[in-house]
Structure 1
Amino acid sequence: MFHLARLADDTLALLLRGGEASAMAQSLQRFVFRSKVKLTVPESLPLGTGDAVETYAAYREGDAYVFGCGDHSMIAGAAHADDAWRLPQVRAGWPWLPNHALGALLAPAISLERLQAVSFDKGCYPGQEIVARLHYRGGLKRHMHCVVLSQHIAGGTVLHRNGDSNIQLLDVVHGDATFQALAVIDDGLMNSLEDASRIDTDEGIALHVTQSWSA
């Protein structure tokens, strides 16, 4: 999961939303054949929040990289790191993947179609056939929701209901005196509840569902 920005005719930048840059570069290197492509991993940069910039706009500003997110921007290489960007992105349904979720979630489960971040009929890429089949046949049974937690719990935690591991938390943010998070929840669990806006888990943690995305 990453932001992809064209900074110049011959330069692309990837800002990962979870995972390790070196591992990502090694995975991409396998697909470099005859093209004259060089993959480099720069030193880690502090990530901060900037002024409003149009969504999907990106540019370089000195030694920093600015990624537009609508009512705010993310700045890789900011003078001062902060987490102010996290809460609006959780509310908007922009996931940040914890280590436990890397490689474990398909595109519809984290609402990539809504973000215009996946194509089901363009080209051929690893896993495209499976992703496209699930999309067109409605076979995926897990979807993403924005929730308010009754107490803090680490991002990446798997929660259970009636013994089943049917809730995968992604990023968890403390904001407005509440703990808000993105969670991938099994459709079967949501459909079984009389009131799908509240889920009581086996761990004693309650989830109040405030927003849901089908794709």
Structure 2
Amino acid sequence: MPCPYSAELVSIEGTDAIAFAQAQFSSNLASLADGRWQFSAWLNAQGRVKFLFHLVRLDAQRLLLLLRGGQAEALAIELRRYVFRAKAAITPHAARPLGTGNPLPLYAAKQTGDALVVGCGPYSLKVDAAADGNWRLAQLRTSWPWLPESLAGEMLPAWLGLGTLGATSLDKGCYPGQEIVARMHYRGGSKRHLHHVRLSRVVPPGSVLDVHGLAAIQLLDVVPVDASAEALAVVHEDAQTGLASGIEAIHGGQPLAVLGTER
């Protein structure tokens, strides 16, 4: 399966690396051990997801961020604005091939030289492997979102299911967007939710599908499967009730069947 995605990596190193990341990112690093990873995100003040990534703790002074969408250089430039007096060096790395590796326990991570392996259970994500997209369908089916660059700063964590993935913390203290995350968790009210759907034809990731004149379905990743496709999509509640039996959407002026699947 061809893969349009490469490994975009940012390292954070120094005696204050962990404390800096704990103050900036949405996950709780307090229980993250060396050689482990967790889902995390960097939010803006409005609680929208600017960057989504695997946050890998190599040791007490070294973190690696494997981005799930977006550019490493852009993230590093923005993060450096908040370092101030912290002893934390933020370095973007050149994009490298991203492929499917051998099985490695979920949340395990290891680095050998420049090669990084992120455990996903029955397979792993391997940086500097032969590039492929075999991991994409497996991750899509387990609701691991990939954030298209065009949607940076647009999606709320609840829309992407980040609470379920442990990427947002409610009890670690303040971080950018924390108040919005807590409000949506305790008060509810989200009108958009993440769904795994089947499409009658392939459309580009990041596409918006109209349902009865409403821009109701925002596609994240889209993977061709035989003559159709599977996708992760953020779906407005007005379109959710019809997903089980299938609904007709419009993309590019042409009809497109969308069928929900059990998650």
TM-score category (smaller protein): over 0.9
Identity score, percent:
50
Give RMSD over aligned pairs: 1.4
Counterpart of 1:144 in 2: which secondary structure? strand
Q: CA deviation at 1:31?
A: 2.0
2:168 and 2:181 in contact (8 A); partners too: no
d(CA) in 2 for partners of 1:62 and 1:50?
16
Deviations 1:102-161 (A, max 9, x none): 111111111111111111232111111112111111121100000111001000000101
Is residue 200 from structure 1 mapped to residue 251 from structure 2 by the alignment?
Answer: no
**135, 148, 158: which one aligns with 1:108:** 158
**218, 226, 247: which one aligns with 1:168:** 218
Alignment of 1:100-139 (within 5 A): 100-139=150-189
**54, 62, 71: which one aligns with 1:11:** 62
Counterpart of 1:31 in 2: which secondary structure? coil
d(CA) in 1 for partners of 2:184 and 2:201?
34
Deviations 1:153-188 (A, max 9, x none): 000000101111111000001235541110000112
Under a length normalisation based on structure 1, what TM-score does the superposition of the two structures give? 0.92
Is residue 180 from structure 1 mapped to residue 230 from structure 2 by the alignment?
Answer: yes
The residue aligned with 1:154 is 204
Change (3 A) 1:54 1:160: same
Counterpart of 1:56 in 2: which secondary structure? coil
Q: CA deviation at 1:56?
A: 1.1
The residue aligned with 1:39 is 90
- Structure 2 unpaired stretches of 5+: 1-51
Counterpart of 1:40 in 2: which secondary structure? strand
Is residue 84 from structure 1 mapped to residue 134 from structure 2 by the alignment?
Answer: yes
Q: CA deviation at 1:34?
A: 2.2
1:121 and 1:132 in contact (8 A); partners too: no
The residue aligned with 1:57 is 108
Q: CA deviation at 1:99?
A: 2.0
Q: CA deviation at 1:8?
A: 2.4
Under a length normalisation based on structure 2, what TM-score does the superposition of the two structures give? 0.76
- Structure 1 unpaired stretches of 5+: none
d(CA) in 1 for partners of 2:176 and 2:248?
37
